[in-house]
A and B are shown apart, each in its own frame.
Chain A
Amino acid sequence: GENVEQHPSTLSVQEGDSAVIKCTYSDSASNYFPWYKQELGKRPQLIIDIRSNVGEKKDQRIAVTLNKTAKHFSLHITETQPEDSAVYFCAASRAGGYQKVTFGTGTKLQVIP
Chain B
Amino acid sequence: KQEVTQIPAALSVPEGENLVLNCSFTDSAIYNLQWFRQDPGKGLTSLLLIQSSQREQTSGRLNASLDKSSGRSTLYIAASQPGDSATYLCAVGSSNTGKLIFGQGTTLQVKP
Is A bound to B? Answer: no
